[in-house]
């Protein structure tokens, strides 16, 4: 099994050919008080315990939260408190999700997250958020047709970055 490890700015990205996102794998992030912080890809949705085992979290990994499964594009932050371990979930950055082929949500993505999509700058991100707010917070890719600055060719180009 060949694994490619990329280290950039202290973040380790682990890609395994048999479990890449493009092949239906699940990628999740571990950070905080772990020895091997980074993004890990699994063939199926991992549990928090499985992720923290790979990320070499210190201490004993016990408790019901260790059996809780993690969704694609989710992260787990670990902080040690004495003998205990505190775990919180977060959404991976839009940059990481795009890099890993994980779709963004037009209904939830921040301005900065929208700007991670190639071709979307500050003005277009603001226009998208304005249209999303006008629609009550829910937005689909088709709704982008009504955003100033989005034409049919551009819509075709950015469609792959968003889930419906």
| pLDDT tens profile 141-157 | 999 999 999 999 999 99
Residue 3: the pLDDT is: 34
- Between 121 and 15, name the one with better pLDDT: 121
Helix (H, G, I), strand (E, B) or coil at 8: strand
What is the rounded CA–CA span in Å between residue 38 and residue 27?
A: 10
Band (pLDDT 50/70/90 cuts) for residue 24 is low
Query: For residue 17, is pLDDT > 60?
Result: no
Residue 16: the pLDDT is: 36
Query: For residue 163, is pLDDT > 90?
Result: no
Q: What are phi and psi of 114, to 5 degrees?
A: -60, -35
Domains in the chain with CATH codes: 4-94 (no CATH), 103-161 (1.10.150.320)
Distances (CA, A) of 6 to 17, 22, 142: 14, 18, 36
DSSP one-letter string for 56-105: T-SS---SGGGG-B--TTEEEEEEEETTEEEEEEEEPPHHHHHHTTPPB-
Q: What is the pTM of this model?
A: 0.75
| pLDDT tens profile 70-101 | 999 999 999 887 777 788 999 999 999 999 99
Band (pLDDT 50/70/90 cuts) for residue 164 is low
């Amino acid at each position: 099994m060949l694994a490619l490890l990329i280290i950039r700015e202290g973040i380790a990205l682990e890609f395994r050919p048999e479990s890449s996102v493009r092949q239906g794998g699940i990628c999740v992030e571990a950070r905080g008080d772990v020895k091997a912080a980074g993004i890990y890809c699994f063939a199926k949705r991992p549990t928090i315990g499985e992720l923290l085992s790979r990320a070499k979290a210190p201490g004993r990994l016990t408790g019901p939260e260790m059996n809780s499964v993690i969704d694609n594009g989710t992260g787990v932050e670990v902080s040690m408190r004495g003998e205990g371990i505190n775990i919180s979930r977060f959404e991976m950055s839009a940059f990481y999700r795009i890099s890993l082929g994980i779709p963004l949500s037009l209904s939830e993505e921040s301005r900065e997250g929208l700007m991670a999509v190639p071709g979307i700058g500050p003005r277009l991100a603001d226009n998208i958020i304005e249209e999303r707010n006008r629609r009550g917070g829910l937005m689909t890719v088709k709704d982008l047709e009504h955003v100033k600055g989005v034409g049919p060719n551009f819509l075709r180009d950015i469609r792959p970055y968003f889930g419906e």
